[in-house]
Structure 1
Amino acid sequence: MKYFPISSTLFVKNRAKFTAAMKPKSIAVFNSNDMYPIGADSTLPFEQARDLFYLSGADQEETILVLFPDSINPKHKEVLFVRETNEHIAIWEGEKLTKEAATKTSGIKTVYWLTDFERVFHELMCEAETIYFNTNEHYRQSVQTQTREDRFIEWCKNKYPAHAIAKSNQILQKARGVKEPEEIALIKNACDITEKGFKRILQFVKPGVMEYEIEAEFMHEFLRNRSRGFAYTPIVASGYNANVLHYIQNNQECKDGDMLLLDVGAEYANYASDMTRTIPVNGRFTDRQKQVYNAVLRVKEEATKMLVPGTMWEAYHVEVGKLMTSELLGLGLLDKADVQNENPDWPAYKKYFMHGTSHHMGLDTHDYGALKTPMEANMVFTVEPGIYIPAENMGIRLEDDMVIQENGAPINLMENIPLTVEEIEDWMNK
Structure 2
Amino acid sequence: MKYSPIDSSLFIKNRKNFGSKMKPNSLAVFNSNDIYPISADSTLPFQQHRDIFYLSGVDQEESILVIFPDCPKEKHREILFLKETNEHIAVWEGEKLTKEKAFEVSGIKTVYWLQDMERIMFELMTQCDTVYINTNEHYRANVEVETREDRYTKWLKQKYPAHNVAKSAPILQHLRSVKDTIEIDLIQKACNITEKGFKRILNFVKPGVWEYEIEAEYIHEFIKNKSKGFAYTPIVASGNNANVLHYIENNKQCKAGDLLLMDVGAEYANYSSDMTRTIPVSGKFSERQKAVYNAVLRVKNEATKMLVPGTLWEAYHIEVGKIMTSELLGLGLLDKADVQNENPDWPAYKKYLMHGTSHHMGLDTHDYGILTEPMQENMVFTVEPAIYIPAEGFGIRIEDDVVIQKSGAPINLMKNIPIEVDEIEDLMN
Q: TM-score, normalised by structure 1?
A: 0.99
Letter in 2 for 1:8: S
Residue 92 of structure 1 is matched in structure 2 by 92
Name structure 2 gaps, 5 residues minimum.
none
User: Structure 1 residue 70: deviation in Å?
Assistant: 0.4
| Superposition pairs of residues 315-334 of structure 1, within 5 angstroms | 315-334=315-334
| Superposition pairs of residues 336-355 of structure 1, within 5 angstroms | 336-355=336-355
Q: Deviations over 1:193-228 (max 9, x none)?
A: 000000000010000000000000000000000000
Letter in 1 for 2:381: F
Distance 2:109 2:370 in 1: 31
Letter in 1 for 2:3: Y
Aligned-pair identity in percent equals: 74
Distance 1:197 1:189 in 2: 13
Name structure 1 gaps, 5 residues minimum.
none
- Secondary structure in 2 aligned to 1:100? helix
| Superposition pairs of residues 407-418 of structure 1, within 5 angstroms | 407-418=407-418
| Superposition pairs of residues 76-115 of structure 1, within 5 angstroms | 76-115=76-115
| Superposition pairs of residues 133-152 of structure 1, within 5 angstroms | 133-152=133-152
Distance 2:254 2:233 in 1: 19
Distance 2:155 2:423 in 1: 57
- Secondary structure in 2 aligned to 1:174? helix
- Secondary structure in 1 aligned to 2:146? coil
Residue 205 of structure 1 is matched in structure 2 by 205
- Secondary structure in 2 aligned to 1:290? helix
Residue 385 of structure 1 is matched in structure 2 by 385
Q: Deviations over 1:310-338 (max 9, x none)?
A: 00011000000000000001110011111
Q: Deviations over 1:233-275 (max 9, x none)?
A: 0000000000000000000000000000000000000000000
| Superposition pairs of residues 273-422 of structure 1, within 5 angstroms | 273-422=273-422
1:257 aligns with 2:257: yes
Letter in 2 for 1:321: G
Letter in 2 for 1:378: N
Distance 1:155 1:185 in 2: 38
Distance 1:94 1:208 in 2: 42
Distance 2:177 2:149 in 1: 22
1:234 aligns with 2:234: yes
Residue 35 of structure 1 is matched in structure 2 by 35
User: Structure 1 residue 144: deviation in Å?
Assistant: 1.0
Distance 2:270 2:215 in 1: 20
Letter in 2 for 1:336: K
User: Structure 1 residue 361: deviation in Å?
Assistant: 0.6
Residue 2 of structure 1 is matched in structure 2 by 2
- Secondary structure in 2 aligned to 1:387? strand
Letter in 2 for 1:65: L
Distance 2:336 2:160 in 1: 63
Distance 1:135 1:427 in 2: 47
- Secondary structure in 2 aligned to 1:299? helix
Stretch deviating more after TM superposition (354-363 or 365-374): 365-374
Letter in 2 for 1:276: T
CA-atom RMSD, angstroms? 0.4
1:186 aligns with 2:186: yes
Distance 2:132 2:331 in 1: 53
Q: Deviations over 1:354-376 (max 9, x none)?
A: 00000001000000012111100
1:423 aligns with 2:423: yes
User: Structure 1 residue 5: deviation in Å?
Assistant: 0.6
- Secondary structure in 2 aligned to 1:377? coil
Residue 117 of structure 1 is matched in structure 2 by 117
User: Structure 1 residue 71: deviation in Å?
Assistant: 0.2
Distance 1:99 1:109 in 2: 8
Letter in 1 for 2:53: F
Letter in 2 for 1:50: R
Distance 1:316 1:263 in 2: 23
Distance 2:98 2:149 in 1: 23
- Secondary structure in 1 aligned to 2:218? helix
- Secondary structure in 2 aligned to 1:131? strand
Distance 1:270 1:422 in 2: 34
- Secondary structure in 2 aligned to 1:362? coil
Letter in 2 for 1:177: S
Q: Deviations over 1:84-137 (max 9, x none)?
A: 000000000000000000010000000000111011011000011011110000
Letter in 2 for 1:70: D
User: Structure 1 residue 146: deviation in Å?
Assistant: 0.3
Q: Deviations over 1:292-325 (max 9, x none)?
A: 0000000000000000000001100000000000
Letter in 1 for 2:241: N
- Secondary structure in 2 aligned to 1:256? coil
- Secondary structure in 2 aligned to 1:29? strand
Distance 1:153 1:108 in 2: 23
Letter in 1 for 2:214: I
- Secondary structure in 2 aligned to 1:374? coil
- Secondary structure in 2 aligned to 1:292? helix
